[in-house]
Each structure stands twice: as structure tokens, then as C-alpha cells.
Amino acid sequence: MTGLASNWTPSIPRVMCPHCGTFMRFAKLEPDPRKPYTDRMSFDCSCGFVYQQSDRARNDAVAD
């Protein structure tokens, strides 16, 4: 594969936009100011929707 699809890694989840149904773009990883020792991922969509997910929410989803 070439292009963006080859850069995908399992550690970054693929998130579908709840508004338009396309895959969202990983935008940034930053410390969560509300929770110590926790990171927050942000995803942007071309339709303008923004989604943020913390480490804890991601780990809880994988455990289920």
C-alpha cells in the first residue's frame, strides 16, 4: 500500500464520524489537563466534526 493507508498503526484507533460516516483524521495527542498521567487524542473530520478520546476511555473500550 502507498499513501496515508500505509501510515496507519493499531495504536491509533480508526474513528468514523457520527455525522457523515467517513473516517476521521488523527489530529493531535496531548496531555489531558483534567486527569494526571492521561493523554487525549483528537480527531478531525472534513465535515467539521471534532472528536476527543482519553486513554482511559480507549482502554475501557478495548477491555470489553
Pairwise CA distance, residues 53 & 1, whole Å: 28
* Selected residue with higher pLDDT from 11 and 64: 11
Alpha-helical runs (H) found in the chain = 55-63
- Which of 47, 39, 46, 48 is closest to 13 using CA atoms? 39
> What is the tens place of the pLDDT at every residue in 7-56?
666 677 888 999 999 999 999 988 878 877 888 889 999 999 999 887 76
> Is residue 25 within 8 Å of residue 44, measured between CB atoms?
yes
Paired residues of 42 in beta bridges: 28, 52
What 3-state DSSP class applies to 61?
Answer: helix
pLDDT, residue 47, reads 95
- Look up residue 15 and give its three cell numbers: 474513528
